[in-house]
Amino acid sequence: MALAGDIITAAMLTVGSVEAEDTTAGRSTTSTAYTDASGGAFSAQAVVPASGKVAVEIRSTQRNASTSNTITSWQAVGSVSGTVYSPNDNAALITVGSNNQPLDLRKHLSGLVPGETLTVTIKHRVNNAANAGIFDYRLILIEGLWG
Residue 1 clears pLDDT 60, i.e. is over it: no
User: pLDDT, tens digit, for every residue of 42-90?
Assistant: 999 999 999 999 999 999 999 999 999 999 999 999 999 999 999 999 9
Instruction: Write the CA distances from 130 to 32, 36, 56, 73, 135, integer angstroms.
Output: 10, 17, 31, 20, 16
Is the pTM higher than 0.85? The answer reads: yes
